[in-house]
Amino acid sequence: MREIKRRIRSVKNTQQITKAMKMVAAAKLRRAQERALQAKPYASKMAEVLASIAKTTTDVSHPMLEKRVVKKTGYIVITSDRGLAGGYNSNILRKAAQEMQKHQSSDEYAVFAVGRKAVEYFKRRNYPVIGEVTGITDYPTFADLKNITSAAVGLYEEGILDELYIVYNEFITAVTQLQTVQKLLPIDNIAGASEVTDSSADYIYDPSASEVLNQLLPKYAETLIFNAVLNAKASEHGSRMTAMGNATDNAAEMIKSLSLIYNRARQAAITQEISEIVSGANAL
């Protein structure tokens, strides 16, 4: 009985921790969602300008728009630094590994790992990691990712990478995250990159449309990566909130079950004491 009582006390302490973590994750989720939504208009307007250039200019050319023979593919895999988020990290790492298994050898792809879980996973298994970022805050800024986004886009522009993909958890709801593999480069259909198909804006490009295109395309690619990280952060908080909620509910069920066992043991002990008293009285 003393052991069961100690176990109940331990589970109650764990339940208090998981309940607090659920509430913290819920608060962070709301703010992460707001940041992800606030970042969308910038990317949408940039896509609109790029689409306008593509429609009004016939000689649109840039390395980021040109398809070439795929010899090496880059993957930007986004995970978290911490666990206790259910299947958030394991699901996306499994998805990334499946994508990389399509290649015949490790010379055909390279990995940019975002998050400590991704860094540890790929390095432990000897994947070709050529860039990594850890220690990203719960509310990342563009400066936190500038090095890896510039490196990934730069390697594509230099011809070292022929394709670039982002692998991340897309936020759907707090309980649903979709493992997404998004093709970043080359941009296949720049004219269809914008959600705004019929824009009445009349743009004047200075010094020229091609020069604006050269400046905007790398920034657009970097912005898409940043948006994916914001989306992944919202997914992380949602997944952690769900996992901690389930852990709290499971703890409550365990406490209920242990309490039932404790009460049965207590009743059995009382019954035994009564039997011993009755037997002793009869003996006298």
Provide mean pLDDT across the span 30-41.
88
Model pTM score: 0.84
Q: Which domains does the chain have, with CATH numbers?
A: 2-22+243-283 (1.10.287.80), 33-239 (3.40.1380.10)
Helix axes 2-56, 209-283, angle to 10 degrees: 170
CB 69 within 8 A of CB 99: no
pLDDT band at residue 166 using 50, 70 and 90 as cut-offs: very high
Bridge-partner residues for 166, per DSSP? 76, 182
Question: 171-209, pLDDT tens digit by residue?
Answer: 988 888 899 999 988 887 665 555 544 555 677 877 777
Question: 242-277, pLDDT tens digit by residue?
Answer: 999 999 999 999 999 999 998 988 888 888 888 878
- Quick count: other Cβ atoms within 10 Å of Cβ 148? 20
CA–CA dist 238, 26 (Å, integer):
7
> Going by C-beta distance under 8 Å and a sequence separation of 6 or more, which residues neighbour residue 17?
none
Provide mean pLDDT across the span 91-115.
92
Peptide bond into 207 cis (omega under 30): yes
pLDDT band at residue 112 using 50, 70 and 90 as cut-offs: very high
Question: 51-98, pLDDT tens digit by residue?
Answer: 777 776 666 677 787 888 889 999 999 999 998 898 999 999 999 999
For the chain, the first-to-last Cα distance in angstroms comes to 31
Q: What is the predicted pLDDT for the residue at 196?
A: 47
Per residue in 221-260, is it b (16+ CB within 10 Å) or e — as a string? bbbbbbbbbbbbbbbbbbbbbbbbbebbeebeebbeebee
